[in-house]
Structure 1
Amino acid sequence: MALNSLAIDIMLPALQQIGASLGVENENHRQYVITAYILGFGGGQLFFGPISDRFGRRAPLVAGLIIYVAAVAAAAIAPTFAVLLACRA
């Protein structure tokens, strides 16, 4: 749960620079990064809940962390805003 807070709070101060770097013209569209993350995090719980009931907690937790780290790495090098949104979701 600490990663959830960290993932949002660490990028909020840089949201303006992220949008400028990726060529987002409308300032309000920069906020889609936060929306995409919250939707992705909430949607993931719909899948990992039943999976953890079936296989236990450890294996799905490790798999989820691996997926999370891969998505963070992809988001860090995202060439376009659309790719960034897909990685955050």
Structure 2
Amino acid sequence: MDNTEHHAAPRAAAGAFETSDFYLACYLRCIGYTLDDVRRDGRRVVFVFGDKPGRRTDLMAFFGNKAEVDPLHFVAAIKDLKTLIHNS
């Protein structure tokens, strides 16, 4: 199974991309994806982003260790998403 499909929820709405991968969600926030919703699916948290045409390329950069983001921006995204998880 391809990693990009593993993290995409099958019921994502048109124009949306869903993932339960916390660090992928942080990365997507850092590169400009809009976080539209956060919801619980059992014990998992699902992050819903506005989709972009270049998503596959962005995912391959992340999973292929080719992605580059500002470390402080990434840390801020981690803190923000953890706050969302714990307050929802």
When Rg is computed on C-alpha atoms for both structures, the one with the higher figure is 1
TM-score (norm: length of structure 2): 0.24
Structure with more helix by fraction: 1
